Chain A
Amino acid sequence: MKASKNATVAKVRAIYGKRLKENDYNELFLKKKVIEAADYLKRNTHYSKVLSGVDTSSIHRGYLETLLNKAYFDEYERICKFQQLNEEPFYNFLLIKEELSELLKAILYLNNDRKDAYIESMHGFLIKKSSFNLIELAKAENFNQLLRVIKNTPYYNIIKNIKPDENGNIPYTKCEVALRTYYLKWLLKTAEEQFDSTAKDAILQQIKLQADFINIVNSYRLKKYFAGDFQTLKDFSLPFYGRLSQAKQYELYESDTPEEFLRRLSRTVYGRLMENLDENMESGRFETEVEKLQCSMAKRALLLTDNAAVSLFSYMYLTEVEINNIISIVECIRYGKPVSYMQSLVIMQ
């Protein structure tokens, strides 16, 4: 069984080898129109297959994003089917992640009273795969209707007790923390049950690493934009600890200012690994630096592991980063942003 999983590890590495390189990004930076960028992706990158049936000379930016996201999910399904990994519960992780993401998106649009906008942004490829009816979710006009749609899913119990405020607004952040916590708990529980000790340790490490990074970014945002105190940061953090222990995380939350937060972070294991961490850096740059570190750790895990779960988990994260890079570049091209700005947003692997 182990040997057969190694084939997946090798396949994932081979697919990862086709990722966009610095040269591709440099070419994309020089494009003046979205259609030129789409055409480059079609002719020169591993996205050629997904874009093959598309006329890039008239492609809409939104549709390009949809196609890229679909390619991302299709790739995941293809890898899982390669050695019937899809028959094992853990390998549903991306579907669950996407479902939760749809659910949160729907809540966000409901709060903003833009119900029709949700159907436009919904990932159509999930309609037939999702464990709940996405079209019905899009039709929901309030939180109760939304809960009815997900009644038969585990997500119902997670958010059923969250009450909308007097204006009918659903507390989005609470929902997000609850659903993310559920997702991570599910990952940990499934990994515990499914894998033997070495594989389990390896994948648990990756999951907790991801939780660490989510906590660092979220708590920094709360500190920077809402001057969140210790209790607020603690309430909105995910109860998982990887290389940053609970005590260390609490120490960060106790910072009085965002600058102090960064100063304290620089003394942690992650801070020492971040090359350009500076207490006066802009929030956007800080998040890019965190993502860069996360990316390099995922890349390291992908290249060194012999475990299919770690391999796929890391690969999907790295591909997500790549797609976000492309989306950022396309947005920048659309709004005529300079190359230097694009470079600051892109995380090269």
Chain B
Amino acid sequence: MSIEKMDYINIVGFMDELDRTLEKCIESQCFHISKSVEEQDGMKRLEGENPYKELLKDIISADTGGLVEFSEIRYDEKKYYDLEKLKLDFSQMSQKLDAYSRETGELTEKLAERKQAYQQLAHLKGLQLDMAQLFKCSHIKPRFGRLPNESAQKLSYYEDKSFIFIPYDDDGNYKWGIYFAPADSIAEADRIFKSLYFEKIWIPNFVSDTPENESLKLEKEIAVLEESLKKKIEERNGYILEIQDNLKCCFCRVKYLYDLYELRKCVLVYKDKFYLTGFVPHTKSDEFTELCNTVRSVSVVSKPAENSEKLKVPVKLKNSRFSRPFSMFVEMYGLPSYGGFNPTTLVAITYTIMFGIMFGDLGQGLLISLIGFFVYKKSGNKLGAILQRVGISSAFFGLLYGSVFGFEDLLDPLYKAIGLSHKPIEVMDSTMMILLGAICIGVVIILISIIINIFISLRHRDFSAAFFGNNGVAGLVFFGALLAGIAVMMTGEGSLFTVPYVLGLIVLPLILMFFREPLGCWLSGKKYHLEGGIGDFIASNFFEVFEFILGYATNTLSFVRIGGFIFSHAGMMSVVMLLSESFSVGASPIVIVLGNLFVMGMEGLIVGIQVLRLEFYEVFSRFYDGDGVAFEPVKVNYDVNVD
């Protein structure tokens, strides 16, 4: 339930053992490599183009018609160890795939040409012309094609020119037709029609009959070509199925080599030696050292991560089984820094409780939990695991509110059986209690957050924040004293706000907060430098303290939403019930089911977001930085993206 302890690892060895060492690092599955090590003392970073890049790209881009999806598979390392043999294998497969690709491409192109010709002839079907006779004309030249309707309107400009355009079809955008011009002025007509975006259509050389008859011939030819193409594709697919395992193995092997080579960019070299640094969880440190020591010339030095000097230590959260899925929310905000506080357990507990309170319904809670169970089981999505937990909490509070799928009286016999005269909490009759309860929850959470911040600040020897900050001891005293005073006043049993109480527990902490920076420096034994003059100091600190006071009020009141959502849930469910009553007996259950699903979907989502908002804004903002680096052990990534 904290942050896993790390060891800082330094690996030194001879260059000829580098690849084997990197292989061991991958094999260990627990080595986080440092990418940000700076070149120093004559040590140079290994650069250079990855020699496996081209081959890998060739494999990925092999035309497999989308039938092969590259991913990690187990393969016989010995069989694919010899890269030259692998290249030869792949080259043979690639050549055959290229040949198939070329052949299907040619057939597709030929087919497309014929289809285009067929479409074009379709526009000529109304033309009862013997095409052969037309093409034989020596003094008059015809041109078939289509003219945009926009351009057709401009033809009247060319009245005096010696051409004629005869449209025989109109598809809304184009006029299909022929223009004729005498042989000696066809060039001019061509130029004019080109400027009007006339698109000539290709009339096949073999056209010698009427367009209608030629269309029939083309239809037959298209059918034959389609059949040939189909056969060729089937043949190619058969071949791909035959080689796909081999191809995938080639991919995995080359991707492994590629990623291994990429790791070289994190290696520093001095003469014939390499230097590699990284981090390993302390619990795995010995195991890792032992594994690396199997490489002959390599020496591994392991130190506590705190000795890693400038390098940022990666963070691996250590969480209990219950809180583990909630690390998703923590990671979403940003990981804690190494040596910081892992808030996952706090989030898990507060999130589960607050969600349950805001969305209390026994039936819906259990259903949510069940859905979460299946989602997690099926996809491994952490959100599913979170739903399982918050669903149970929701069911528990539903039991207290006496609500099952919106039926408010269903649990009455149960309460009577255990000796209760009514529900433990009657939501609609306990407005003030619920709202005050919500604020109390907020106060407790804020106080816990402040106490956590005090401990973290003390650990980092930040005395200013620990003692005098708004989330330090001064803030804790001020906030606690103020709340205690208000609470006593509300009970009507006198007032705590006596002069010594106000001066000592309210005014003094405010003064300490005002002078927090100089006081912090004084405690740490540092000299305080006043920047911007005394006026600037007073003005900025006055407004900051004023903002702190406002912050306490707004942050506390922010928790009122917990109560608000209890009413909102009860209200929405009563609307569903009212609606169901207004429908017939047959339709009523459908309305109840749909209503429940709607409320679960919409309100569940809103409550989930609101609780997360409370966690991030009211809790995390008090003590959490979220600037840690995630622990990512080096591994081969078997995806097809290559830089």
In the complex the two chains form, is A54's CB within 8 Å of B157's CB?
no
Residue from B154, B156, B172, B197 within 8 A of A62 (CB atoms): B197
Q: Assuming A58-B199, A62-B197, A120-B196, is B174 touching A53 (CB within 8 A)?
A: yes
Nearest chain B residue, comparing its CB with the CB of A137: B157
Residues 98-151 (chain A) with a chain B CB within 8 angstroms: 119-120, 122, 124-125, 127-128, 135, 138-139
Cα distance A139–B158 when bound, in Å? 9
B467 to chain A, nearest CB (A): 46
B148 is an interface residue with CB less than 8 A from chain A? yes
**CB neighbors of A among B127-181 (8 A):** 148, 150-151, 153-154, 156-157, 171-174
Task: Report chain B residues within 8 Å CB of A53.
Answer: 171-174
Query: Is B61 positioned at the interface, with any CB of A under 8 Å from its CB?
Result: no
Minimum C-beta distance from B172 to chain A (A): 6
CA distance A127 to B174 in the complex (A): 17
B195 in the interface, Cβ–Cβ < 8 Å? yes
Determine how close the nearest CB of chain A comes to the CB of B457; give it in whole angstroms: 42
Question: Which residues in B have their C-beta under 8 angstroms from that of A54?
Answer: 173
CA of A125 to CA of B157 in the docked complex: distance in angstroms?
Answer: 15
* CA A124 to CA B147, docked complex, whole Å: 12
A138 CA / B148 CA spacing, docked (Å): 19
Q: B148 touches which one: A66, A120, A135, A139 (CB < 8 A)?
A: A66
In this assembly, does A225 line the interface, its C-beta being within 8 Å of a C-beta of chain B? no
Residue pair A120, B195 in contact (C-beta under 8 Å): yes
Contact indicator B173/A127 (Cβ below 8 Å): no
Q: Are B197 and A66 in contact (CB under 8 A)?
A: yes
- In the assembled complex, the Cα of A63 lies from the Cα of B154 at a distance in Å of 14
A138 near B157 with CB under 8 A, answer yes
Give the distance in Å from the alpha carbon of A87 to the alpha carbon of B154 in the complex.
Answer: 28
Cβ–Cβ contact B156 & A135, under 8 A? yes
Are A124 and B150 in touch, CB under 8 angstroms? Answer: yes
CB distance from B158 to the nearest CB of A (A): 8
Please tell me if A70 contacts chain B, counting CB pairs below 8 Å.
yes
Q: State in angstroms the CA–CA spacing of A58 and B196 once bound together.
A: 15
How far is it, in angstroms, between the C-alpha of A120 and the C-alpha of B150 when the chains are bound?
Answer: 11
B199 touches A119 (CB 8 A): no
Chain B residues positioned under 8 Å from A139 (CB to CB): 157
Contacts of B148 in A (CB 8 A): 63, 66, 124
Q: From residue B267, how far is it (CB to closest CB) to chain A in Å?
A: 35
Q: A53-B173, A66-B148 are in contact. Are A127 and B153 (CB under 8 A)?
A: yes
- Chain B residue numbers with a CB within 8 Å of A285 are none
B196 contacts which chain A residues (CB < 8 A)?
A: 120
Chain A residue at minimal CB-CB distance from B146 = A55
The residue of chain B having its C-beta at the shortest distance from the C-beta of A58 within the complex is: B199
Q: Taking the complex as formed, is A81 at the interface, i.e. its CB lies under 8 A from any CB of chain B?
A: no
Is the C-beta of A272 less than 8 angstroms from some C-beta in chain B?
A: no
Interface core residue of B148, B157, B196, B199 (most chain A CB under 10 Å): B157
Chain A residues in 8 Å Cβ range of B197: 60, 62-63, 66
Q: Mark B348-374, 1 if CB is under 8 A from A, else 0.
A: 000000000000000000000000000
Q: How far is the CA of A126 from the CA of B154 in the complex (A)?
A: 11
Q: Is the CB of B154 within 8 A of A124?
A: yes
Residues of B close to A66: CB separation below 8 A: 148, 150, 197
A70 to B197, CA, bound (A): 15
A125-B150 contact given A53-B172, A139-B157, CB 8 Å threshold: yes
Expressed in whole angstroms, the Cα–Cα distance for A53 and B197 within the complex equals 15
A139 and B173 CA atoms in complex are apart in Å by 26
Instruction: Show 19 residue pairs from A and B whose CB-CB distance is below 8 angstroms, ordered by the A residue.
Output: A53-B172, A55-B199, A58-B199, A60-B197, A63-B148, A63-B197, A66-B150, A66-B197, A70-B150, A119-B157, A120-B196, A122-B154, A124-B148, A124-B150, A125-B150, A127-B154, A128-B153, A138-B157, A139-B157
Having A66-B197, A119-B154, A135-B156, one finds 13 other A-B pairs with CB under 8 Å, namely A53-B172, A53-B174, A55-B199, A62-B197, A63-B148, A63-B197, A119-B157, A120-B195, A124-B150, A125-B150, A135-B154, A138-B154, A138-B157
4 shortest interchain CB distances as A-B pairs? A124-B150, A53-B173, A63-B197, A120-B195
